[in-house]
Amino acid sequence: MNEIIAGIRIPDSKMAREATQLVRDTEPDLLYHHSRRVFLFGALAGERKQLKYDAELLYIGAMFHDMGLVDAYSSAHDRFEVDGANAARDFLLGYGIGEGEIEQVWDAIALHTTPGIPQYKKPVVALVTAGVEMDVLGLAYDEFTADQRRLVVAAHPREANFKEGIIDAFAQGTIKKPETTFGNVKADVLALKDPNYKRLNFCSIILGSAWSDGPHDHSTCRHPAHQHA
């Protein structure tokens, strides 16, 4: 089936179809439709920027980028981005995809909540983040035409409360392992949604480490990283 949305052809290989079905069966509607929009907006950004990218790899990256938020793919201690990246890697290995291509998809998912880096990586990495930033944050909103936005949302609707819903999904996927939000944007999510959440502070960790750097080291708070986050 050659499905075209806003001028973007949805990959239709066996691998892409099975990825679609897996995500559809695993994620709630909100995350599934969000992931499809991420692919479409990422691909549209790639076309606009005249980047050469592998549409199938971009599709896998987009479809798996939030899989780490759901219980079936959530580890006890890794960041949800890493869980999603690992799930995509395991999926791609089943189709004989090469190490270099898998690395692109892994990086695309693992880095999609780390602003300032993905745009300097390979196009697949950059475009997954571009799609996420457009759909969640509205970044570069006006660089997409009104028709492009309309057609994407017509095919994969945004819920009336999508903004609140996606924040809730982020919170549910990270609230059991709050330490994984240290140094990334999901710390803001738990600060909003979990009244018991306490941010780790990078400077406090440095100053409270076990190192003693001489007579003027008056640090008294040892190992804050081991405290409840």
Inside any domain, residue 197: no
Asked if residue 125 is part of any domain, the answer here is: yes
Helices (H) and strands (E) in the chain, counts: 10, 2
Nearest to 129 by CA among 87, 48, 193, 66: 66
Give yes or no for a contact between 43 and 8, defined as CB atoms under 8 angstroms apart: yes
Instruction: Count how many domains the chain has.
Output: 1
> DSSP H helical segments within 27-175, as ranges?
29-48, 55-64, 80-93, 99-110, 123-132, 146-155, 162-174
- Please state the rounded mean pLDDT for residues 60-82: 98
How confident is the model over 91-103, as pLDDT tens digits?
999 999 999 999 9
Q: Give me the percent of the chain exceeding a pLDDT of 90.
A: 88
For the cut 80, the answer to whether the pLDDT of residue 172 exceeds it is: yes
Q: With bands split at pLDDT 50, 70 and 90, how would you rate the model's confidence at 217?
A: low
Partnered with residue 200 across adjacent β-strands are none
Its domain, for residue 44, covers: 4-177
Note the pLDDT of residue 1. Answer: 62
Note whether 90 and 193 are within 8 A (CB): no
Q: What is the pLDDT of residues 114-163, one digit of tens each?
A: 999 999 999 999 999 999 999 999 999 999 999 999 999 999 999 999 99
Q: What is the mean pLDDT of residues 67-80?
A: 97
Say if residue 171's pLDDT is above 50: yes
**Euclidean distance between the first and final Cα of the chain, in Å?**
48
pLDDT for the residue 225: 45
* pLDDT of 218 higher than 70: no
CATH number reported for the structural domain that contains residue 168 in this entry: 1.10.3210.10
pLDDT tens sequence across 174-215: 999 999 999 899 999 999 999 999 999 999 999 998 998 877
Enumerate the β-bridge partners of residue 4.
9
Does residue 135 form part of some domain?
yes
Gap between the Cα atoms of 181 and 87, Å rounded: 19
Query: What integer pLDDT is reported at residue 97 of this predicted model?
Result: 97
Evaluate if residue 229 carries a pLDDT over 50: no
